[in-house]
Amino acid sequence: MKGNGSAPAPELPSLAELGGDLLATTARQRLVLLARPFACAALYALFASRGWWAAAVAAVAVLFVAIVAAAHDLVHRALGLGRWTNEVLLALVGMLVLESGHAYRASHLQHHARFPLDDDPEGDPARMGFWRAVAEGPLFLFRLWLWAWRRAPGERPWLALEAAWFAGFWAAGIALWPRAPAVLVYAALAVAGSWVYPVATVHLPHDVHGDGPLQQTHTLRGRLVPALFLELTYHLEHHLYPAVPSHHYAELAARLEPHLAAQGVAPVRVW
């Protein structure tokens, strides 16, 4: 089921049967997806420079949604980019929120291959109670980085660069505090925002007690909520067909609807 999404399970159609157009990505779609995070960071800088702190915090909140969408597609090489371009963008997108894109790739691909087994470190919060998953927030990404450093030695140059950026940004923020407090505030918001990952992206979308792959990951249907979260609410569909880029999740969900219904999967309905 995990792999590249071409044959998710015997009871579901292959990606080729659902439609090869689900893999298509236009230059405009790539530009929008990849420019959004940088635009949000630029808006933060603009708002903070004018003292509009509520708007600045909102820009960072939107930034996190945009980052998750872009990082997912870069991790799964779903945008049709060249290898080097994909590597650089994965690092830059992670750096925007002081995270390691390459640690995320190592742990996320392990998550797709091994969830809900115990050797899936990204999936650990799904095996915890809610409040334990909340408490996991401050150390979650650090633990994934350490896991990636041990398990993915080929990624170590990128991991070291991304860790150095994290440390350097914090050092710059502290040094610039008297003249430009917005730098340190941004660092604090970025780190605090990452603390919601264990709950928002792991604990809530998964159910380790489900009877099988179709019951172990949730999917939401609606108009407003999926659009606000850039279609990331279609989490089951992403698990089943990870090669599909995020801008096609809604269409993928529509095509899968009768097949999931036949398997007794009931999507959660939201606005």
pLDDT at 232: 85
Q: Give residue-wise pLDDT tens across range 215-245.
A: 899 988 888 888 888 888 999 999 999 999 9
Rounded to 5, what percent of the chain is helix, strand, coil?
70, 0, 30
pLDDT of 187 above 90? yes
Cα 216 from Cα 91, distance rounded (Å): 30
Would you say 183 and 175 are in contact if contact means Cβ atoms under 8 Å apart?
A: no
Interval 18-36 mean pLDDT: 95
CA distance 63 to 35: 11
Q: Exposed (0-12), middle (13-18) or buried (19+): which is 27, by Cβ within 10 Å? A: exposed
Mean pLDDT of 12-37: 94
C-alpha span between 53 and 42 (Å, rounded) = 14
Band of pLDDT at residue 9, cut at 50, 70 and 90: low
What integer is the mean pLDDT of 57-72? 96
Q: Residue 220 has what pLDDT? A: 86
State the pLDDT at residue 68: 93
* Element of type H or E holding 207: none
pLDDT digits (tens, 9 = 90+) for 105-156: 999 999 999 999 999 999 999 999 999 999 999 999 999 999 999 999 999 9
Average pLDDT score, the chain: 92
Distance CA 17, CA 7 (A): 10
pLDDT for 224: 87
156-182: average pLDDT = 97
* CB distance 207 to 191 below 8 Å: no
Q: Which of 228, 270, 214 is nearest to 1 (CA)?
A: 214
AA identity, residue 6: S
Q: What pLDDT, on a 0 to 100 scale, did the predictor assign at position 6?
A: 45
Q: Where are the domains of the chain?
A: 21-204
- Determine the pLDDT at residue 10: 56
pTM for the model: 0.91
Whole-number pLDDT of residue 248: 94
Alpha helical stretches, state H, 115-154: 130-151
The amino acid occupying position 254 is: A
pLDDT at site 225: 85
Q: Which of 20, 37, 36 is nearest to 28 (CA)?
A: 36
At 1 the pLDDT is: 39
Q: Is the pLDDT of residue 183 over 80?
A: yes
Token pair for 241: 């067909």
Please state, as a whole number, how many other Cβ atoms lie within 10 Å of the Cβ of residue 148: 23
Task: Calculate the CA 137 to chain-centre distance.
Answer: 15
